[in-house]
Structure 1
Amino acid sequence: MRSLVLLLISFFFATDPVFAQKAHEIQRFQLKEVKQGVAVDATHFYVINNTSLTKHTKTDGKQVAAWRDTTGLLKHLNSGVVLNRKLFCVHSNYPEVPMVSSIEIFDAETLRHIGSHSFGLLPGSATWADFYQGYWWVAFANYSDKASAEGRDNRWTMLVKFNANWERLESWQFPATVLQAFAPKSTSGGTWGKEGLIYCTGHDKPELYVLKLPDRGSTLQHVKTIPTVSEGQAFAIDRSVKSKLILYGITRNDNFVVVSEVK
């Protein structure tokens, strides 16, 4: 009987999805400034800083384009995603309150600023966005170490679903296990991956949290946690690689873009 119990315990931990995968480094590029996140397409990666962007070749990290805000209107670019030759960057006025956010749109070829969508005042600071199955999905962060005037902490962090015309349709809160991992900060990066799963990061920890929409209720479900090489912040899945899960992430203290494979 004791042997059977030990065998079942061993099987449980061997198949526990929380520990089943990890990210393995493939390549890294040290650049002049890497502070907020990275986006990627088939041939280039894009480094996102508070008020500037740079574009680099995936083969050797060579910079081929750059943009910097000269208007003083932008405060805190958070993350980005490349769709149809456009780079959509999520922007907020963090750490100011009340929180206001926008999507800033750039030509992915030249990094020329070509458009903007304002969310205005919503209950949180937009940190990441993705377009999936015909809808926009945007995360609005709240922080426990800098509560808003309304007294919200990071439990108020939410994922909001919009239609293509930016009309709000649904929203979900993040699960308690992931909020505890975020604390005292919130989600900094996220995207949809394969098999209808949502991948997201916090502010600092080298971890990737895999979530899914619930069958019922209003709380996202925590599927598993994947240890990573990069350290929180905004990341990207390289969708040009179909057979593998390739991540582009950053380590902001030493200005590296890190490429890794989850397996």
Structure 2
Amino acid sequence: MILALLATLSLQHAELPPIPLAGQAETVRRYDTGARQGVAVGPTDIWAVSNSTIVRFDKATGERRAEWSGDPALYPHVNSCSLIAADLVCASSNYPAAPHVSTIEVFDPAALAHRRSIALPSGIGSATWVERRADGWYVMFANYDARGSEAPRTHRDTVLVRFDDQWRPHERWTLPDSILSRLAPMSISGGGWGPDGRLYLSGHDLPELYAVDLPAGGGVLRHLETFGIEAEGQAIDWDESEPGMLYGITRRTREVLAMRVF
């Protein structure tokens, strides 16, 4: 089923016209982790994310350090994680089920003990990534055209929402046509702020990284430029200890990739 879906998506994306790239990231290291959804990175560790499991690896040696395995009935789709202060903060949903239910799951980054869950509002989409900024929490809610959809929303209803510290929603941003046309029928899987202060997004299937700007007060994200990467979409994370280094995964081999963008 998964291979058939990937083959269908590859055929659809093969029909997309090529686009100018601002640059091509260089893959400088690979980690054999079995990751299926994404990766988080810290100064000394990486965390491979695979739906109902998270595994911590030593960044220098690739040695396996700790693992969390959740009940798939309770955690069917942990999509991405990010090291934020003293927590590993993850975006989780019930994808591909509907109606969409999304939560933020918080873990001890070392032992991977589960600390708490935060419920997110319904009727927006499936949470795919979460990041913290000075003015609050940012969560991307994906929507789809087929599997995983919740009518009447489609991939064009994918939205980035800023929440305050009490998890009340404030600004919202939708995607521009230049990115939406590359995503259909899927959505945004990963995102995070790069060392240049810009927000970068990754889709579900294409080896592309989209740099965007957020208009004040909400609206439509401004697509600034696109970079080529080896990772075929999925959740990503910038290495704050090594500016310019982006971590992602490749589902072809289930490896974590360290990619130098700048």
TM-score, normalized by length of structure 2?
A: 0.89
CA spacing shift, 1:217–1:70, aligned 2, 3 Å: closer
- Pick closer, same or farther for the CA change 1:200–1:183 going to 2, 3 Å: same
- The residue correspondences of 1:72-111 to structure 2 (distance < 5 A) are 72-111=73-112
Flag the 1:246–1:66 CA change in 2: closer, same or farther, 3 A.
Answer: same
- Partner secondary structure for residue 54 of structure 2: strand
Q: Deviations over 1:48-103 (max 9, x none)?
A: 11100100011121100011014731110000110112111110000111101000
| Distance change (3 Å), C-alpha of 1:27 and 1:217 | closer
Alignment partner, residue 170 of structure 2: 169
Q: Deviations over 1:221-247 (max 9, x none)?
A: 000000001111001100012xx3101
The amino acid across from 1:262 in the alignment is V
CA distance in 2, matches of 1:192, 1:44: 19
Is contact 1:81-1:236 (8 Å) kept?
A: yes
- Distance, in Å, in 1 between the alignment partners of 2:157 and 2:207 is 23
Describe the superposition over 1:171-211 as per-residue Cα deviations: whole angstroms up to 9, x where unpaired.
01011111111111000000122343110100011110110
Contact kept? 2:143, 2:150, Cα under 8 Å: no
Match of 1:234 in 2: 235
- Does residue 250 of structure 1 match 2:252? no
- Answer yes or no: is 1:122 the counterpart of 2:110: no
| Deviates further, 84-93 or 119-128 | 119-128
Letter in 2 for 1:261: R
| TM-score (ref. length: structure 1) | 0.88
Tell me the SS of whatever aligns to 2:92: strand
Distance in 2, Cα, partners of 1:147 & 1:255: 22
Answer whether contact 1:132 1:192 (CA < 8 A) is retained. Answer: no
CA distance in 2, matches of 1:208, 1:148: 24
Contact 2:48–2:55 (Cα < 8 Å) also in 1: yes
What SS does structure 1 have at the residue aligned with 2:23?
A: coil
Taking only the aligned residue pairs, the percentage that are identical comes to: 39
**Residue from 21, 24, 27 that aligns with 1:22:** 24
Residue ranges of structure 1 left out of the alignment (5+ in a row): 1-16
Alpha-carbon distance in structure 2 between the residues aligned to 1:191 and 1:232: 13
* Distance (Å, rounded) in 2 between the aligned partners of 1:22 and 1:149: 35
- The CA deviation at 1:167 is 0.8
Q: Secondary structure at the match of 2:117?
A: strand
Measured on the aligned residues, the alpha-carbon RMSD in Å equals 1.7
Q: CA deviation at 1:149?
A: 4.4
- C-alpha contact 2:96 2:149 (8 A) present in aligned 1: no
Q: Deviations over 1:138-180 (max 9, x none)?
A: 0000012237443211000000001111011110101111111
Please list every run of 5 or more consecutive structure 2 residues that lacks an aligned counterpart in the other structure: 1-18
SS at match of 1:179: helix
Larger Rg: 1
Aligned to 2:225: 224
SS state at 1:178 partner: helix
Q: Does the C-alpha gap of structure 1 residues 65 and 20 become closer, same or farther in structure 2, counting only changes over 3 Å?
A: same
Using a 3 Å threshold, how does the CA distance of structure 1 residues 147 and 226 change in structure 2: closer, same or farther?
same
Residue 4 of structure 2 corresponds to none
The answer (yes or no) to whether the contact 1:196–1:212 under 8 Å persists in 2 is: no
Secondary structure of the equivalent of 1:60? Answer: coil
Give the AA of the match of 2:228.
P
Per the alignment, do residues 73 and 140 of structure 1 end up closer, same or farther by CA in structure 2, a change over 3 Å counting?
same
SS in 1 for 2:220: coil
Which structure 2 residues correspond to residues 37-186 of structure 1 after superposition, within 5 A?
Answer: 37-70=38-71, 72-146=73-147, 148-186=149-187
Give the whole-Å Cα distance in 2 for the aligned partners of 1:162 and 1:35: 28
Cα distance in 2 between the residues matched to 1:120 and 1:71: 21
What is the number of equivalent residue pairs in this alignment?
244
